[in-house]
Structure 1
Amino acid sequence: MKFAITAATGNFGQAAIKQVLNLIDTNDQVFAIARNVEKAKGLLPASVEIRQGDYDDAQSMTDAFQGIDRVLFISSQPGGKVARGQQHLNVVNALGQAGVKFVTYTSFPKADTAANPLAADHKLTEDAIKALDIDYSFLRNNWYLENEMAFIQSGANAPIAEYWANGKAGWALEREYAEAAADVLVNENHQAVYEFNGPSSSYADLGEALKQATSNNFEVQQVSQEKYTEDLAKTMDGNHDLAAMLRHSKHRLKMAH
């Protein structure tokens, strides 16, 4: 069996590859698909064959998928020179052109019904995959705990940790989501949809856990979106655009129940 992992140089991709290597048989092969082959060579185990593939370039992805049986398709980040929806359609079309038999895709919580604007590209991608004549599994991953490093670092080192979204999230480590993705990729007895998440928790819950872990009796404070963005930008050398994008990503917590 030939397995391929896209976006292989990212943290998720590297963790998934490590887990796949622990799970496969000796006759199986693992392929890493990366935009930058030289970077991949410096990051990935020598036993992994590296192929060049760029979501912006549909033909490169078709070439990268040649001869591959099962693919872990890791979703891209928005904001690139090519819109994420188009990037994902490029990958889906390449899966079909190359004759891949199975794809597992890292999606968004309740992507088919979520009102969150971040869900739109994922629903588009899921629908495109469903239209292919191949087997699939959607991994609707909840929130990475690593996305809360600004909150965590503030709680560990400062008197106040701020947040603005008042919902709950199912935080888990990115590595845990990646290992679950690898398990689904390798296991032929899979579900069509997985809603992966940790325990449903609020920022108040996260703050209490952090207080216990650090013994720092800081204040957990809800602030306005505007103040959150301004204070976050101060930690990013004044990059208000990046701070606003990160604030917007918290919209899924605001809309959570």
Structure 2
Amino acid sequence: MSIVVTGATGHLGRLIVSALLRRGVPAGEIVALGRDTDRLADLAGRGVVTRRADYDDLDSLRAAFAGADRLMFVSGSEVGRRTVQHGNVITAAEEAGVGLVAYTSIANADTSSLVLAAEHKATEKAIGASGLPYVFLRNSWYLENYTAQLPTYLRHGVAGAAGDGRVSAATRADFAEAAAVVLTTEGHTNQVYELGGAPFTMTELAAEISRQKGTAVSYLDLPVDKYTELLVAAGLPEGYAAALADGDRGLAQGELEVGDALAKLLGRAPTTLAAAIRAAL
């Protein structure tokens, strides 16, 4: 069986390849794709097949998907370009006769009002229309979105526009392991999994940092426009800042809170917020 993993030079794609290897998939049956194959050299050294693939280059995708039984389709990172890019992936997968496409989507993609959800919803619709057997892995936020900000939180506190909304964040490693489970076991065809960890509020995030660090950290809740301005003042491009603030708006409305499907796929509880903060500190 050949399992092709797109975006293997990125954080999630690389973790999925590692999870497949841990689950006993022979390295020679895993095909890791990326635009820069030099960044896949370490995987090639472990026996993983590596190929160049670019979502903007349909011919590269056709060549990369040759012989694929299962495709791990990691969504692209270029917001605003993903509908066209993902269309190329779907076309190449159809032509290759891929037996299963596992796509990393966003929580509650079919009903979400988040700006970032629109391209995921369009991609899910296109995959469904293609007739390809699929699995939609609707991942909520990464815990790393928060733990990466610990230095800022400790200096300035936590700010956002999430109100009392709860986010079912989980680690990239847990999402990657769930993807590997879906790719290596049966019974997932045409299923939709809403994936995330134990939900928490931004106030609870601040409290957990305070507890572990012994330093008072508070949460400042702002209107969406004011949070956008804060992010721009911190150096983020305006479009990116607006998307992040819009994510908090959706979080406040419960659009990033999901059930326990991740725990069921993993066969264990996902990594907790407390454990992720502890590891990051």
Which of 158, 162, 185 is matched with 1:161 structurally? 158
Q: Is the 8 A contact 1:151 1:163 kept in 2?
A: no
How far is the alpha carbon of 1:44 from its aligned partner? 5.9
Question: How far apart in 1 are the matches of 2:171 and 2:222?
Answer: 26
Using the alignment, how far apart are the partners of 1:252 and 1:45 within structure 2?
42
SS at the partner of 2:170?
coil
In structure 2, the CA distance between the partners of 1:96 and 1:246, relative to structure 1 (3 Å rule), is same
Give the conservation status (yes or no) of the 8 Å contact 2:27–2:48. Answer: no
CA RMSD in angstroms comes to: 2.2
State the SS of the aligned residue for 2:127.
helix
Contact map agreement 2:75 2:103 (CA 8 A) in 1 = yes
Distance change (3 Å), C-alpha of 1:106 and 1:42: same
Flag the 1:113–1:79 CA change in 2: closer, same or farther, 3 A: closer
Provide the C-alpha distance between the structure 1 equivalents of 2:111 and 2:228, rounded to a whole number of angstroms: 28
Equivalent position of 1:193 in the other structure: 192
Aligned partners of 2:133, 2:23: CA distance in 1, in Å? 20
TM-score, normalised relative to structure 1: 0.89
* Equivalent residue, structure 2, for 1:18: 18
Change (3 A) 1:112 1:243: closer
Shift of 1:248: 3.1
Q: 2:107 aligned with 1:113, yes or no?
A: no
Report the TM-score, using the length of structure 2 for normalisation: 0.82
Q: 1:179 Cα shift?
A: 1.4
Query: What secondary structure does 2:3 align onto?
Result: strand
Q: Following the alignment from structure 1 to structure 2, what is the Cα–Cα distance between the partners of residues 150 and 25?
A: 31
Q: Residue 136 of structure 1: CA displacement?
A: 1.3
Bigger shift: residues 22-31 or 181-190:
22-31
| 5+ residue gaps, structure 2 | 256-281
Shift of 1:85: 0.7
1:224 maps to which residue? 223
Is the CA contact 2:61–2:89 (under 8 Å) kept in the aligned structure 1?
yes
Partners of 1:222 and 1:147 in 2: CA distance? 17
Unmatched 5+ residue regions in structure 1? none
Q: CA deviation at 1:15?
A: 0.6
Structure 1 position 232, deviation (Å):
2.8
Preserved CA contact (<8 Å) 2:9 2:40? yes
Pairing 1:132–2:133 present = no
1:68 and 1:145 map into 2 onto residues whose CA distance is 31
Residues of 1 paired with 2:79 and 2:168: CA distance?
A: 25
Percent identity for Structure 1 against Structure 2: 35
- The alignment of Structure 1 onto Structure 2 pairs a total of residues equal to 253
- Give 1:250 shift: 2.8
Would you say the 8 A contact 2:102–2:137 is kept in 1? yes
Give CA deviations for 1:103-151 in whole Å, capped at 9, x if unaligned. Answer: 1100111212222232221121112111233321110111111122465
- Give the secondary-structure state (helix, strand or coil) at the position aligned to 1:112: coil
Q: Is residue 159–residue 217 contact of structure 1 (8 Å, CA) maintained in 2?
A: no
Cα distance, 1:13 vs. partner?
0.7
Output the amino acid matched with 1:174.
R
